[in-house]
Amino acid sequence: MGDGACLGICFTDHELLFAVHQPGNPREILHTGCHEFSFRIRDILTAGDSGLFDLVATSIRRIKERFPTSEARILTPAPEECWTILPRSVYEHASERESHIRMLMEGVPREDLSVTWETVSNNDFKLLSIRRNSSFAPFEKLLKDFTHTEYFSEYEVGTLWQQMTGISGSFMHIHCQKNYLSVSSHILGKLRGVAVIPSQTMEDLPYLWKLHASRLPWMDGIHEKIYLYGPEALAVSAMLHTQWEDAGDTILMNSFDAMTLTSPEKTVGFKLESAFPAILLSAAQ
Protein backbone atom coordinates (compact mmCIF):
# COMPACT_ATOMS: atom_id res chain seq x y z
CA MET A 1 0.00 0.00 0.00
CA GLY A 2 1.26 3.48 -0.76
CA ASP A 3 0.92 6.67 1.23
CA GLY A 4 -2.74 7.20 0.25
CA ALA A 5 -5.61 6.36 2.57
CA CYS A 6 -7.12 2.87 2.63
CA LEU A 7 -10.76 2.14 3.48
CA GLY A 8 -11.39 -0.79 5.83
CA ILE A 9 -14.89 -2.31 6.02
CA CYS A 10 -16.57 -4.92 8.22
CA PHE A 11 -20.14 -5.81 9.17
CA THR A 12 -22.27 -6.74 12.14
CA ASP A 13 -25.83 -8.00 11.74
CA HIS A 14 -27.25 -4.56 10.95
CA GLU A 15 -24.21 -2.30 10.69
CA LEU A 16 -21.63 -1.42 8.07
CA LEU A 17 -18.55 -0.21 9.92
CA PHE A 18 -15.66 1.52 8.21
CA ALA A 19 -12.37 3.25 8.94
CA VAL A 20 -9.95 5.43 6.98
CA HIS A 21 -6.39 6.05 8.11
CA GLN A 22 -4.55 9.35 7.84
CA PRO A 23 -2.72 9.52 4.47
CA GLY A 24 0.99 9.04 5.10
CA ASN A 25 0.40 7.83 8.66
CA PRO A 26 -1.49 4.51 8.84
CA ARG A 27 -1.15 4.41 12.66
CA GLU A 28 -3.50 7.40 12.92
CA ILE A 29 -7.14 6.69 12.09
CA LEU A 30 -8.64 9.73 10.41
CA HIS A 31 -12.26 8.62 10.77
CA THR A 32 -14.29 5.65 11.94
CA GLY A 33 -17.95 5.42 11.05
CA CYS A 34 -21.07 3.27 11.18
CA HIS A 35 -24.07 3.02 8.86
CA GLU A 36 -27.01 1.18 10.39
CA PHE A 37 -29.66 -0.72 8.42
CA SER A 38 -33.03 -2.22 9.31
CA PHE A 39 -32.13 -5.58 7.69
CA ARG A 40 -29.46 -8.22 8.23
CA ILE A 41 -26.68 -7.23 5.87
CA ARG A 42 -25.25 -10.71 5.44
CA ASP A 43 -28.63 -12.05 4.36
CA ILE A 44 -28.87 -9.36 1.70
CA LEU A 45 -25.36 -9.99 0.41
CA THR A 46 -25.95 -13.74 0.10
CA ALA A 47 -29.59 -13.64 -1.06
CA GLY A 48 -29.00 -11.06 -3.77
CA ASP A 49 -31.93 -8.72 -3.03
CA SER A 50 -31.06 -6.01 -5.55
CA GLY A 51 -32.98 -3.18 -3.90
CA LEU A 52 -31.55 -3.62 -0.41
CA PHE A 53 -28.13 -4.52 -1.82
CA ASP A 54 -28.10 -1.15 -3.58
CA LEU A 55 -28.63 0.59 -0.24
CA VAL A 56 -25.44 -0.98 1.10
CA ALA A 57 -23.55 -0.23 -2.11
CA THR A 58 -24.75 3.38 -2.03
CA SER A 59 -23.42 3.76 1.52
CA ILE A 60 -19.97 2.63 0.37
CA ARG A 61 -20.05 5.00 -2.61
CA ARG A 62 -20.87 7.90 -0.29
CA ILE A 63 -18.00 6.95 2.01
CA LYS A 64 -15.67 6.92 -1.00
CA GLU A 65 -16.91 10.35 -2.08
CA ARG A 66 -16.29 11.75 1.38
CA PHE A 67 -12.88 10.11 1.78
CA PRO A 68 -11.42 9.76 -1.73
CA THR A 69 -9.35 6.60 -1.91
CA SER A 70 -8.64 3.98 -4.55
CA GLU A 71 -7.94 1.19 -2.04
CA ALA A 72 -10.39 -0.85 0.03
CA ARG A 73 -10.18 -3.91 2.24
CA ILE A 74 -13.23 -5.84 3.42
CA LEU A 75 -13.73 -8.58 6.02
CA THR A 76 -15.71 -11.58 4.76
CA PRO A 77 -17.96 -13.32 7.33
CA ALA A 78 -16.64 -16.58 8.75
CA PRO A 79 -19.95 -18.49 8.23
CA GLU A 80 -19.54 -17.95 4.47
CA GLU A 81 -16.27 -19.93 4.52
CA CYS A 82 -15.05 -23.38 5.52
CA TRP A 83 -11.85 -23.74 7.58
CA THR A 84 -10.06 -26.90 8.64
CA ILE A 85 -6.50 -27.90 9.47
CA LEU A 86 -5.23 -30.98 7.65
CA PRO A 87 -2.05 -33.08 7.92
CA ARG A 88 0.81 -33.32 5.46
CA SER A 89 -0.51 -36.68 4.19
CA VAL A 90 -3.49 -34.79 2.77
CA TYR A 91 -2.12 -31.48 1.53
CA GLU A 92 0.93 -32.95 -0.24
CA HIS A 93 -1.15 -35.27 -2.45
CA ALA A 94 -3.51 -33.83 -5.05
CA SER A 95 -5.99 -36.72 -4.93
CA GLU A 96 -6.27 -36.50 -1.12
CA ARG A 97 -6.63 -32.72 -1.27
CA GLU A 98 -9.46 -32.90 -3.77
CA SER A 99 -11.15 -35.75 -1.92
CA HIS A 100 -11.28 -33.69 1.29
CA ILE A 101 -12.53 -30.61 -0.55
CA ARG A 102 -15.35 -32.64 -2.13
CA MET A 103 -16.26 -34.12 1.25
CA LEU A 104 -16.27 -30.75 3.02
CA MET A 105 -18.24 -28.98 0.27
CA GLU A 106 -20.48 -31.83 -0.84
CA GLY A 107 -22.84 -30.85 -3.62
CA VAL A 108 -20.98 -27.64 -4.53
CA PRO A 109 -19.39 -27.68 -8.01
CA ARG A 110 -15.59 -27.54 -7.82
CA GLU A 111 -15.50 -24.58 -10.21
CA ASP A 112 -17.52 -22.59 -7.66
CA LEU A 113 -14.83 -23.00 -5.00
CA SER A 114 -11.74 -20.92 -4.22
CA VAL A 115 -9.21 -22.79 -2.11
CA THR A 116 -6.36 -21.36 -0.01
CA TRP A 117 -3.73 -23.27 1.96
CA GLU A 118 -2.12 -21.41 4.88
CA THR A 119 1.01 -22.28 6.84
CA VAL A 120 0.49 -22.90 10.56
CA SER A 121 2.84 -23.21 13.53
CA ASN A 122 3.05 -27.02 13.22
CA ASN A 123 4.91 -27.70 9.97
CA ASP A 124 3.18 -31.06 9.58
CA PHE A 125 -0.19 -29.38 9.06
CA LYS A 126 -1.77 -26.64 6.94
CA LEU A 127 -4.97 -24.65 7.16
CA LEU A 128 -7.43 -25.22 4.33
CA SER A 129 -9.76 -22.27 3.72
CA ILE A 130 -12.58 -22.61 1.17
CA ARG A 131 -14.86 -19.91 -0.22
CA ARG A 132 -17.79 -20.28 -2.60
CA ASN A 133 -17.24 -17.94 -5.54
CA SER A 134 -20.98 -17.36 -5.87
CA SER A 135 -21.31 -16.15 -2.27
CA PHE A 136 -18.13 -14.08 -2.59
CA ALA A 137 -19.24 -12.22 -5.74
CA PRO A 138 -21.47 -9.69 -3.87
CA PHE A 139 -18.46 -8.46 -1.90
CA GLU A 140 -16.57 -7.89 -5.14
CA LYS A 141 -19.58 -6.01 -6.51
CA LEU A 142 -19.66 -3.76 -3.43
CA LEU A 143 -16.07 -2.66 -4.09
CA LYS A 144 -16.24 -2.40 -7.88
CA ASP A 145 -15.50 1.36 -7.81
CA PHE A 146 -12.11 0.85 -6.12
CA THR A 147 -8.92 0.30 -8.11
CA HIS A 148 -7.26 -1.91 -5.50
CA THR A 149 -9.29 -4.30 -3.35
CA GLU A 150 -8.41 -7.02 -0.84
CA TYR A 151 -10.65 -9.53 0.90
CA PHE A 152 -9.74 -10.93 4.31
CA SER A 153 -11.01 -13.92 6.25
CA GLU A 154 -11.74 -13.38 9.93
CA TYR A 155 -8.82 -15.56 11.05
CA GLU A 156 -6.48 -13.18 9.18
CA VAL A 157 -7.29 -10.35 11.62
CA GLY A 158 -4.97 -12.00 14.14
CA THR A 159 -2.23 -12.29 11.54
CA LEU A 160 -2.55 -8.59 10.64
CA TRP A 161 -2.44 -7.74 14.35
CA GLN A 162 0.76 -9.72 14.80
CA GLN A 163 2.32 -8.01 11.79
CA MET A 164 1.31 -4.52 12.94
CA THR A 165 2.31 -4.85 16.59
CA GLY A 166 5.22 -7.27 16.28
CA ILE A 167 3.82 -9.32 19.16
CA SER A 168 5.78 -12.58 19.31
CA GLY A 169 4.24 -14.51 22.20
CA SER A 170 0.97 -16.43 22.28
CA PHE A 171 -2.37 -14.69 21.83
CA MET A 172 -5.94 -15.45 20.87
CA HIS A 173 -8.38 -13.32 18.86
CA ILE A 174 -12.13 -13.77 19.34
CA HIS A 175 -14.55 -12.01 16.99
CA CYS A 176 -17.86 -11.90 18.85
CA GLN A 177 -20.82 -11.67 16.52
CA LYS A 178 -24.47 -12.15 17.46
CA ASN A 179 -24.79 -15.78 16.32
CA TYR A 180 -21.20 -17.00 16.25
CA LEU A 181 -17.65 -16.59 17.49
CA SER A 182 -14.65 -16.87 15.21
CA VAL A 183 -11.49 -17.76 17.10
CA SER A 184 -7.84 -17.79 16.06
CA SER A 185 -4.71 -18.56 18.03
CA HIS A 186 -1.14 -17.47 17.28
CA ILE A 187 2.12 -18.55 18.85
CA LEU A 188 5.63 -17.26 18.14
CA GLY A 189 4.41 -15.23 15.20
CA LYS A 190 2.54 -18.06 13.49
CA LEU A 191 -1.10 -19.09 13.22
CA ARG A 192 -1.77 -22.08 15.49
CA GLY A 193 -5.48 -22.84 15.12
CA VAL A 194 -8.88 -21.51 14.00
CA ALA A 195 -12.48 -22.25 14.90
CA VAL A 196 -15.99 -20.99 14.23
CA ILE A 197 -18.51 -21.55 17.04
CA PRO A 198 -22.16 -21.05 16.01
CA SER A 199 -24.52 -20.17 18.88
CA GLN A 200 -28.20 -19.40 19.27
CA THR A 201 -28.00 -17.79 22.72
CA MET A 202 -25.27 -16.34 24.88
CA GLU A 203 -26.07 -18.88 27.59
CA ASP A 204 -24.98 -21.70 25.25
CA LEU A 205 -21.43 -20.39 24.95
CA PRO A 206 -19.79 -22.02 28.02
CA TYR A 207 -20.97 -25.46 26.89
CA LEU A 208 -20.06 -24.82 23.26
CA TRP A 209 -16.62 -23.51 24.21
CA LYS A 210 -15.91 -26.65 26.25
CA LEU A 211 -17.21 -28.84 23.42
CA HIS A 212 -14.93 -27.25 20.83
CA ALA A 213 -11.98 -27.12 23.23
CA SER A 214 -12.31 -30.88 23.80
CA ARG A 215 -11.55 -31.32 20.10
CA LEU A 216 -9.17 -28.35 19.72
CA PRO A 217 -6.86 -28.30 22.77
CA TRP A 218 -5.23 -25.02 21.78
CA MET A 219 -8.47 -23.22 22.75
CA ASP A 220 -7.73 -23.96 26.41
CA GLY A 221 -3.99 -23.52 25.96
CA ILE A 222 -1.93 -20.76 27.52
CA HIS A 223 -2.36 -17.39 25.85
CA GLU A 224 -0.56 -14.33 27.14
CA LYS A 225 -3.27 -12.09 25.67
CA ILE A 226 -6.88 -12.72 24.67
CA TYR A 227 -8.33 -9.98 22.45
CA LEU A 228 -12.11 -9.64 22.13
CA TYR A 229 -13.95 -7.49 19.61
CA GLY A 230 -17.25 -7.36 17.76
CA PRO A 231 -20.72 -6.25 18.89
CA GLU A 232 -21.02 -8.95 21.58
CA ALA A 233 -17.47 -8.73 22.95
CA LEU A 234 -18.42 -7.40 26.39
CA ALA A 235 -21.17 -10.00 26.85
CA VAL A 236 -18.91 -12.83 25.67
CA SER A 237 -16.17 -11.74 28.06
CA ALA A 238 -18.64 -11.85 30.95
CA MET A 239 -19.96 -15.25 29.89
CA LEU A 240 -16.63 -16.98 29.23
CA HIS A 241 -14.16 -15.33 31.61
CA THR A 242 -14.04 -18.44 33.83
CA GLN A 243 -12.81 -20.44 30.81
CA TRP A 244 -9.71 -18.23 30.67
CA GLU A 245 -8.78 -18.02 34.35
CA ASP A 246 -5.40 -19.64 33.68
CA ALA A 247 -4.68 -17.45 30.67
CA GLY A 248 -3.14 -13.99 30.55
CA ASP A 249 -4.81 -10.63 30.12
CA THR A 250 -8.23 -10.34 28.50
CA ILE A 251 -8.37 -7.16 26.42
CA LEU A 252 -11.55 -5.59 25.06
CA MET A 253 -10.69 -3.70 21.87
CA ASN A 254 -12.95 -0.75 22.64
CA SER A 255 -10.41 2.08 22.52
CA PHE A 256 -7.68 3.30 20.19
CA ASP A 257 -5.22 2.86 23.05
CA ALA A 258 -6.05 -0.85 23.18
CA MET A 259 -5.54 -0.98 19.41
CA THR A 260 -2.14 0.80 19.75
CA LEU A 261 -3.43 3.46 17.34
CA THR A 262 -4.32 7.14 17.56
CA SER A 263 -7.26 9.14 16.24
CA PRO A 264 -8.48 12.75 16.44
CA GLU A 265 -11.91 11.29 17.24
CA LYS A 266 -12.17 10.84 21.00
CA THR A 267 -15.70 9.44 21.06
CA VAL A 268 -17.96 7.62 18.61
CA GLY A 269 -21.69 6.91 18.61
CA PHE A 270 -21.36 3.13 18.33
CA LYS A 271 -19.35 0.27 19.82
CA LEU A 272 -15.77 0.89 18.77
CA GLU A 273 -14.96 -2.78 19.37
CA SER A 274 -17.38 -3.64 16.55
CA ALA A 275 -15.27 -1.58 14.16
CA PHE A 276 -11.90 -3.04 15.20
CA PRO A 277 -11.56 -5.31 12.12
CA ALA A 278 -12.29 -2.37 9.80
CA ILE A 279 -9.81 -0.19 11.69
CA LEU A 280 -7.09 -2.83 11.51
CA LEU A 281 -7.75 -3.48 7.82
CA SER A 282 -7.28 0.23 7.14
CA ALA A 283 -4.16 0.60 9.30
CA ALA A 284 -2.28 -2.60 8.45
CA GLN A 285 0.58 -2.38 5.96
**For residue 228, what are the CA distances in angstroms to 20, 46, 63, 272?**
21, 26, 27, 12
3-state SS, residue 50 = helix
> Which residues sit opposite 180 in a β-bridge?
198
pLDDT of the residue at 48: 63
Q: What is the DSSP letter of 258?
A: T
82 φ/ψ angles, rounded to the nearest 5 degrees: -125, 125
3-state SS, residue 66 = helix
CA dihedral 163, 164, 166, 171 (to 10 degrees): -80
Return d(Cα 104, Cα 224) in angstroms, integer.
Answer: 33
Which segments in the chain show pLDDT lower than 70?
1-4, 48-49
pLDDT of the residue at 5: 82
CA distance between the termini of the chain:
6
